[in-house]
């Protein structure tokens, strides 16, 4: 039931791009993306709804392929502040989070 | 102006004790949640309340009992604490089906 994220960890230099994938074995109604910095609470980034509606962060984009039950988070021109653990959450009456992807952005 | 607040931030206690964690949200949301995050960062939902009514109750030991006195508060009481209960507990709130706002977390350490 838990969605699977890949990669598990990624290291970037400032300015580089990254893609984090999230896939589920179940049909999805929506996908949420959150970022958690070390020692802090998860913070909402993006929600993708069935039918293509998106709502979220200015500098981060995402896609949602309902047929493939997959979502991807695109981080472009990464900044140091992007470092943290990214979680996707799949909504089927309740939010089930993936195992997280740890992203480190180095100067 | 904290949106979702939790107390205490840290809780260190011995096995067998009973403890409570309190959560309050001032966002006017109708749904509140408790999550447990273990040492591997796995974030798992425990309970969800909508307008004081329990709507999600995951397979959590009976020693955990949530209580929602009103729409803005959701407390978590834990009886007979065990070593495996050590984790960070997050409270969250949302309008149903939309983005969730998390509290700062309570780090529980059972010795």
Residue A82 DSSP label: G
Query: Which candidate from A42, A93, A94 shows the least CB-CB separation from B102?
Result: A42
B5-63 per-position pLDDT tens digit: 999 999 999 999 999 999 999 999 999 999 999 999 999 999 999 888 888 888 889 99
The reported pLDDT for the residue numbered A50 is: 75
Nearest Cα of chain B lies from the Cα of A99 at a distance, in angstroms, of 6
- CA dihedral sign of residues A60, A61, A66, A71: negative
Closest by Cα among A29, A31, A64, A65 to A45: A31
B67-86 per-position pLDDT tens digit: 999 999 999 999 999 999 99
The predicted model gives A91-95 an average pLDDT of: 80
Hey, are the CB atoms on A94 and B90 less than 8 Å from each other? no
Q: pLDDT tier at A4 (50, 70, 90 boundaries)? A: very high
User: In the structure encoding, which two tokens stand for residue B84, read together?
Assistant: 């495996």
B60 touches A: beta carbon within 8 Å? no
Query: Which candidate from B41, B45, B104 shows the least CB-CB separation from A95?
Result: B45
Hey, are the CB atoms on A96 and B45 less than 8 Å from each other? yes
C-alpha pair distances (Å), A40 with each of A6, A22, A95, B49, B102: 22, 22, 19, 23, 10
The predicted model gives B92-111 an average pLDDT of: 92
Hey, are the CB atoms on A40 and B99 less than 8 Å from each other? no
Q: Which residues pair with B6 in a beta bridge?
A: B23
Distance from C-alpha of B15 to C-alpha of A58, rounded to nearest angstrom: 46
A96-107 per-position pLDDT tens digit: 999 999 999 999
The reported pLDDT for the residue numbered B67 is: 94
User: In the structure encoding, which two tokens stand for residue B5, read together?
Assistant: 């607040």
pLDDT at A26 over 80: yes
Q: pLDDT tier at A57 (50, 70, 90 boundaries)? A: low
The predicted model gives A17-23 an average pLDDT of: 95
pLDDT at A27 over 90: no
pLDDT at A6 over 90: yes
Neighbouring C-beta atoms of residue B74, cutoff 10 Å: 29
Q: pLDDT tier at A51 (50, 70, 90 boundaries)? A: low
Higher-confidence residue of A1 and B36: namely B36
Residue of chain A whose Cα is closest to the Cα of B43: A97
C-alpha pair distances (Å), A87 with each of A79, B18, B61, B75, B81: 18, 31, 25, 25, 28
B39 touches A: beta carbon within 8 Å? no
Contacts of B91 (CB under 8 A, 6+ apart): B4, B6, B21, B23, B25, B32, B33, B34, B35, B74, B76, B102, B103
Hey, are the CB atoms on B43 and A30 less than 8 Å from each other? no
The reported pLDDT for the residue numbered A32 is: 92
Residues in chain B closer than 8 A to A62 (CB atoms): none
């Amino acid at each position: 039931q838990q969605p699977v994220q890949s990669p598990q960890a990624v290291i970037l230099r400032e300015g580089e791009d990254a893609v984090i994938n999230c896939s589920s074995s179940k049909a999805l109604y929506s996908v949420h993306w959150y970022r958690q910095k070390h020692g802090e609470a998860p913070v909402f980034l993006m929600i993708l709804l069935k039918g293509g509606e998106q709502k979220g962060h200015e500098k981060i984009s995402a896609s949602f392929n309902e047929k493939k039950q997959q979502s991807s988070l695109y981080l472009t021109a990464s900044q140091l502040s992007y470092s943290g653990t990214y979680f996707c959450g799949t909504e089927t009456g309740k939010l089930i989070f993936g195992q997280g992807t740890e992203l480190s952005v180095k100067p | 102006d904290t949106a979702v607040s939790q107390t205490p931030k840290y809780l260190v206690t011995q096995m067998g004790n009973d403890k409570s964690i309190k959560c309050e949200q001032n966002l006017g949301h109708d749904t509140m949640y408790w999550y447990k995050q273990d040492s591997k960062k796995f974030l798992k939902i425990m309970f969800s309340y909508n307008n004081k009514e329990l709507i999600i109750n995951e397979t959590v030991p009976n020693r955990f009992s949530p209580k929602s006195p009103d729409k803005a508060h959701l407390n978590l009481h834990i009886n007979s604490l065990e070593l495996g209960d050590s984790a960070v507990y997050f409270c969250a709130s949302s309008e149903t089906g939309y983005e969730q706002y998390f509290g700062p977390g309570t780090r529980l350490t059972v010795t």
